[in-house]
């Protein structure tokens, strides 16, 4: 009887997760593009061979993974500090927490536009500050090395508060007595952080890491509006590459292949991360 209550949910999830993935697989085995007059024509594994040879796909995948790893690790470190900072009791802390959360609550398109204007050359505030000390503008969004850092910075701004609040929740589950006991035994503040706080935050760190890594692997809005994938393709992500293949080039077969390829890479990375986590825990436990 109870299982019936679950059925609508299962049905909808199959509709938006399983069927699409199966459909992608089906499409990836077909030529389905404007050149075929938008007809499906089976072409064996040609799309997959093309994907293997397509260095743009691999560069894009690399860039996406790099973006995810760099931004998420900076976010987590910053978030720990922010969580500690917000884990205090005084008047107005509620408002402070809410304001810190604001960047996360805004649509990505809005904040990407904000950042595009901030990074603008020569009229944005950053370039104006630079122009006070140097004659050479940075050209942030037209320099491949700076442009991807700009995307990372914008992402950090937006999602650090989210992680910080999850960690804050974790901090609040830690009993204050633990710290008191530790202090009585003569432990310093820093030591307390490493022996009590960090280990007890582990599950929360793990959850936010997994969630954020997976989500930032799908980065799309930010890239499309902030840089459009340029300059020199240096900020392109798997999602934007798949998007232009489908919506601009009208090559749906290949776009599906890119999406599935990206998905497989993501699966492998998660598997790798999982193994790494379990292994590191074993070492951790064996040391105790």
Partner 1 sequence: MIRNKFLLIILLLWSLCPFFWQVYTSFCSSESILSPLLNIDNRWTLQNYIQLFTSEPPFWRYLLNSTIVGTTSTVLTLIIALPASYALTRINKVFATGFKLFFFIAALFPYVLLFLSLLEIARALNIGNNLFALSLPYASLSLPLAILLLSAAFNDLPKDLEEAAKIEGLGLFQRLRWILIPLIAPATASTSIIIFLFSWNEYPIALTWISKPELITLPVAIARIAGSSVYSVPYGAYAAATVLGSLPLIIIVLLFQKQIIAGLTQGAVKG
Partner 2 sequence: MIYPLIIFISIAYSAWSFTHKPIDINILMPAPFADSTSTIVDQYNHENKGKVHINVTRGPLETEAVSDLAISSLLLGASPFDIILIDVTWLPKYAEAGWISSLDKYIDIEEWNSLISGAQDGNSYKGNIYRWPLVADMGLLYWRSDLMKEPPQTPNQLLEISRNLVQDNQVEYGYVWQGRQYEGLSCVFLEVLHAFGGEWLDDNNHVKLSSNESIEAAKWLRKLIKVGASPKAVTNFAETEALQVFESGQAAFMRNWPYAWSELQKDSSQVKGKVGLTLMVSEQGRPSASTLGSWGLSILQNSHNKKAAYQVIRYLTSQASQKKLFTDYGYTPTSEKLFDDVQLISKLSILPELKRALSVVQARPMTPLYAQISNVLQVELSSILTANKPAEDAMRLAKDKTKRIILSSGS
User: Contact between 82 and partner 1 (CB under 8 A)?
Assistant: yes
Residue 72's binding partner among partner 2, partner 1, none (Cβ under 5 to 8 angstroms by kind) is none
| CB-nearer residue toward partner 2: 100 or 121 | 121
Residue reference for tokens 């904000």:
114
Q: What would you report as the CA-atom Rg of the chain, rounded to the nearest whole angstrom?
A: 23
Min dist. Cβ of residue 211 to partner 1 (A)? 6
Q: What angle do CA 121, 65, 111 make, to 5 degrees?
A: 40
Say if residues 23 and 259 touch (Cβ distance below 8 Å).
no
Pick one of 15, 35, 172, 188: the residue that binds partner 2 (CB under 8 A): 35
Looking at the Cβ atoms of 12 and 232, the one nearer to partner 1 is: 12
Sorted by sequence, the CB contacts under 8 Å of residue 169 that are 6+ apart come out as 204
Burial 94-105 (b: 16+ CB within 10 A, else e): eeebeebeebbe
Site for partner 1 in 131-190 (CB under 8 A): 157, 161-162, 165-166, 168-170, 172-173
Exactly one of 40, 46, 114, 196 binds partner 1 (CB under 8 A); that residue is 114
Instruction: Work out the angle between the directed axes of helices 144-173 and 93-105 (0-180°, nearest 10).
Output: 140
Residue 131 interacts, among partner 1, partner 2, none and using kind-specific CB cut-offs from 5 to 8 Å, with none
40 is a contact residue toward partner 2 (CB under 8 A): no
Nearer to partner 1, 138 or 212 (CB): 212
Which residues, at least 6 apart from 213, have a Cβ–Cβ distance to it below 8 Å?
Answer: 68, 69, 72, 269, 270, 273
**Is residue 15 involved in binding partner 1 (CB under 8 A)?**
yes
Q: Which does 24 bind (CB under 5 to 8 A by kind): partner 2, partner 1, none?
A: partner 1
88's contact among partner 2, partner 1, none, with CB below 5 to 8 A by partner kind, is partner 1
Q: Does residue 31 belong to the site contacting partner 2 (CB under 8 A)?
A: yes
The interface region with partner 2, picked from 158-166, 178-186, 232-240, 270-278 by CB under 8 A, is 232-240
Nearer to partner 1, 195 or 215 (CB): 215
Q: Which does 186 bind (CB under 5 to 8 A by kind): partner 1, partner 2, none?
A: none
Residue 101 or 244 with smaller CB distance to partner 2: 244
Which of 204, 229, 235, 241 is close enough to bind partner 1 by CB under 8 A? 204
The span from the CA of 29 to the CA of 49, in Å, is: 11
Q: Which stretch binds partner 2 (CB under 8 A): 10-18, 156-164, 202-210, 227-235?
A: 227-235
Footprint of partner 2 (CB under 8 A): 31, 33-35, 37-38, 46, 50, 53, 56, 121-122, 137, 139, 141-144, 228-234, 244, 247-251
């Amino acid at each position: 009887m109870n299982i019936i209550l679950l059925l609508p949910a299962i049905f909808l999830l199959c509709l938006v997760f399983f069927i699409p993935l199966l459909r992608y697989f089906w499409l990836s085995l077909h030529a389905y593009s404007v050149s075929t007059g938008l007809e499906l024509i089976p072409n064996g594994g040609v799309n997959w061979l093309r994907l293997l040879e397509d260095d743009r796909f691999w560069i894009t995948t690399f860039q996406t993974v790099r973006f995810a790893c760099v931004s998420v690790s900076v976010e987590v470190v910053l978030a720990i500090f922010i969580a500690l900072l917000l884990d205090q009791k005084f008047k107005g802390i509620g408002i402070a927490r809410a304001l810190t959360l604001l960047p996360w609550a805004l649509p990505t398109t809005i904040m990407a536009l904000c950042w595009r204007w901030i990074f603008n050359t020569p009229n944005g505030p950053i370039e104006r500050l630079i122009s006070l000390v140097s004659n050479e503008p940075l050209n942030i969004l037209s320099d491949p090395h700076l442009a991807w850092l700009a995307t990372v910075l914008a992402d950090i701004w937006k999602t650090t508060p989210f992680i910080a609040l999850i960690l804050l929740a974790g901090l609040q589950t830690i009993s204050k007595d633990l710290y008191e006991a530790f202090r009585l035994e003569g432990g310093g503040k820093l030591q307390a952080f490493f022996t009590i706080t960090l280990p007890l935050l582990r599950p929360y760190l793990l959850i936010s890491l997994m969630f954020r890594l997976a989500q930032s692997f799908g980065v799309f809005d930010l890239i499309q509006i902030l840089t459009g994938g340029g300059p020199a393709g240096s900020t392109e992500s798997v999602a934007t590459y798949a998007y232009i293949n489908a919506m601009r080039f009208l090559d749906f077969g290949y776009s599906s292949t890119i999406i599935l390829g990206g998905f497989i890479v993501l699966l492998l990375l998660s598997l790798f991360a999982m193994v790494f986590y379990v292994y590191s825990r074993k070492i951790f436990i064996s040391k105790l």
